[in-house]
Amino acid sequence: MNILYFDDDCIICNRFAKIITALDRKDAIRFSSIKELEGMVPEDIDSVVYYSDDMYIHSDAVIEVAADATGFRPVRLLKAIPVCWRNALYRLIARNRYRLNDRMSCTIDPDVRKKIIS
């Protein structure tokens, strides 16, 4: 089972989950709160984790879930970009994600909510 763990309190993460839901034509990806992984992953991983055949974090998680959702495997060519650059961008967005959405309250999209497992 492919599971995308995301920060369900974050508008950016919720929008990402909504995009993945729209792209997931095969209905293969499920969702869960990142809080479910508390104690199993380092504390600095607090926005997105993707579990499919392995556990992916940071920019690898974004690339893998995008490849699995779209079925477009060449998305993985983004891994040719040095991981330090990819993860620096990822951490910049993750670290500022609440500031970017002004801590607005958010709700989980109904299509995403249907695919949440606990």
pLDDT tens-digit readout, 86-100 = 999 988 888 887 776
H-helix segments, 1-118: 11-23, 58-70, 83-95, 97-100, 110-113
Residues near 26 by Cβ (< 8 Å), separated by ≥ 6?
A: 71
pLDDT tens-digit readout, 30-79 = 999 888 888 777 776 767 899 998 999 999 999 999 999 999 999 999 99
Place of tokens 């992953």: 41
pTM value is 0.84
Q: How far apart are CA 52 and CA 64, in angstroms?
A: 9
